[in-house]
Amino acid sequence: MALIDELRRALKRQAVLTAREACVAFECDALTAHRQIPDIVVLPESVEEVQAVLRICRAHGVPVVTRGAGTGLSGGAKPVAGGVLLVLSKLNRILELDPLRRIARLQPGATNLSISNAARPFGLFYAPDPSSQIACTIGGNVAENSGGVHCLKYGLTFNNVLQVKILTIEGEALTIGNEMQETCGLELLALLTGSEGMLGVIVEVMVKLVPRPERTELLLAAFDDIARCAEAVAAIIAAGIIPAGLEMMDAMTIKAAESFAHCGYPADANALLLCELDGVSADVDWQILRVSELLRTLGATLVRQAADAAERDRMWSGRKSAFPAVAKLAPDYYCMDGTIPRRRLSEVLAQIAALSQQYGLPIANVFHAGDGNLHPLILFDAGKQGELHRAEELGADVLGLCVAAGGTVTGEHGVGIEKLGPMCLQFNADELNAFHAIKAAFDPAGLLNPGKAVPTLARCADYGALHVHQGKMPHAHLPRF
């Protein structure tokens, strides 16, 4: 086949995989229910090789799906039949790290954690810290505008990226953004961040590094009642305090995390809040006092401050291993990712519990409460006839709740293939048309990651027909399509 021959000429022979046994390793990202064995996988080792791949694919009119580490949770890196899977994991070098300018320049396949590790000797770190940070790549982070537990205070990927270099599907190189993070012309960096590999292939990223805080403290609070825990979240923020992290867990997650990580959580609590405060020492002093006092006033049954870094790590370990811990409770789990206004937290959690009852599938909640970013984990058994489908239906209904509460169908995991349906609840036809036109401005032939991130209007028509009768369609008075 001419395509494969050309790719083999452009890349090292072993960098082009076509054997099924080799390609099967790339059949899905972390949304494992959806698989497609790629026909061709390429593993370039330089930007020039990436450029060559794009030019060849463009010339052949062959779709290209870019993949970093494949930790995405929405199927963004799922291969497309008949396409090329462009895997950037070999481009994993840190090109430059300058403590004076507080920047790092990275190849797209550098892992998130490698940046902070390299910056540590200089007292600096890269702030966005998705739980997948040992594995996920900076290219993937930019493509998803990933978050982490420290977003509320330190921002998302967008707020911490200075410049990206992309290749268009034509193989044309564009440098977008600058070291000052200042807009020059139209703010294209905003369009690219979170664009899920639809607009261009990110081949280099410059990020901002920030000084490690002088002091970090962690408070753990337990509550009998999840609604009261949610109130505490709002109260802390209303008191003028922006915690570095503010994470909540429900009863099922607390128990699972405790038996998994032995992290010292009160296993009988109905809700648990972890509140990390950092900054200059004198500020952390008063914030610790104020937050502890608030938590007690709002009915926390336990408020504990980590005595030292070791205890802090132990207390965090439960939260950080919450997904694998919950995963032990059932053969399969499905992680959702909606964001809602914080004031609706307890109401939406109650509605989620009701849906869980209705579908007969348990849901564990562990989430970025400070951001109002929910991660309901739906437990199911894919081995049982129809359960996967039921879990997906339940998930879509949960996202419908988020939209109805004034929120969004995805806070940080992206749309991918997973949330194409729920996207129709959040955006109307005119808005979706604008998205398709933006895609076409970058990629007129529609070869980059086709079929992801933005639903077609036809798909929405089907989805609307399915879901509108349940009364969840927002803007019901607007014309539909």
Partner 1 sequence: MDADATEPIRQRVLAAAGRGSPVRIIGGSTKQFYGREVPGEPLNMAAHRGIIAYDPAELVLTARAGTPLAQIEATLSQSGQCMPFEPPHFGSTATLGGAIACGIAGPARAYAGAAKDFVLGVTLMNGEGQSLRFGGQVMKNVAGYDVARTVVGSLGSLGLLMDVSMKVMPRAPQSATRVFELGAQAALRQMSEWAQQPSCISATCWVDGRLFVRLSGSDAAIQTAAARMGGEAHAAGGEFWSAVREQSHAFFGGAEELIRVAVPALCAPQTFSGECLMEWGGSQRWLRNRSDIEAVRAAARSAGGFATRFRTRDRSGDVFEPVPAAQMRLQKTLKAVFDPRAIFNRGRLHAEL
Ligand X SMILES: Cc1cc2nc3c(=O)[nH]c(=O)nc-3n(C[C@H](O)[C@H](O)[C@H](O)COP(=O)(O)OP(=O)(O)OC[C@H]3O[C@@H](n4cnc5c(N)ncnc54)[C@H](O)[C@@H]3O)c2cc1C
Residues that bind ligand X (CB under 6 A): 29-30, 65-73, 76-77, 88, 108, 130-132, 136-137, 139-141, 143-144, 146-148, 196-197, 201-202, 323, 412-413, 449
Residue 53 or 409 having the CB closest to partner 1? 409
Q: Is 408 in the site for partner 1 (CB under 8 A)?
A: yes
Other CB atoms closer than 10 Å to residue 281's CB: what's the count?
11
What token pair was written down for 95? Answer: 């090109």
* Burial class for 451, CB neighbours closer than 10 Å (0-12, 13-18, 19+): middle
Amino acid in position 376:
P
Q: Is 58 in the site for partner 1 (CB under 8 A)?
A: no
* Chain mean position to CA 284: 29
From CA 465, how far away is CA 481, in angstroms rounded? 10
User: What is the DSSP track for 361-375?
Assistant: --EEEEEEGGGTEE-
Q: Is 122 in the site for partner 1 (CB under 8 A)?
A: yes
CB 335 within 8 A of CB 377: yes
The one among 430, 445, 462, 465 contacting partner 1 by CB under 8 A: 430
* Chain mean position to CA 342: 19
From CA 271, how far away is CA 367, in angstroms rounded? 12
For residue 81, give Cα distances in angstroms to 65, 78, 107: 10, 10, 27
Q: Is 371 in the site for partner 1 (CB under 8 A)?
A: yes
Residue 79 contact among partner 1, ligand X, none, beta carbon within 5 to 8 Å by kind? none
Residue 115 or 269 having the CB closest to partner 1? 115
Q: Is 480 in the site for partner 1 (CB under 8 A)?
A: no
What token pair was written down for 248? Answer: 């909540």
- In the shown chain, the binding pattern of residues 92 to 121 toward partner 1, with x for contact by CB under 8 A and - for none, equals -------xxxx-------------------
The one among 5, 48, 96, 172 contacting partner 1 by CB under 8 A: 172
The one among 190, 227, 404, 468 contacting partner 1 by CB under 8 A: 190
The one among 159, 259, 292, 456 contacting partner 1 by CB under 8 A: 159
Q: Is 155 in the site for partner 1 (CB under 8 A)?
A: yes
Q: Is 339 in the site for partner 1 (CB under 8 A)?
A: yes
Question: Closest Cα to residue 251, out of 322, 167, 309, 310?
Answer: 322
Q: Least separation, in Å, of the C-beta of 25 and partner 1?
A: 27
Residue 359 or 427 having the CB closest to partner 1? 427
Residue 476 contact among partner 1, ligand X, none, beta carbon within 5 to 8 Å by kind? none
CB 104 within 8 A of CB 209: yes
Residue 66 or 163 having the CB closest to ligand X? 66
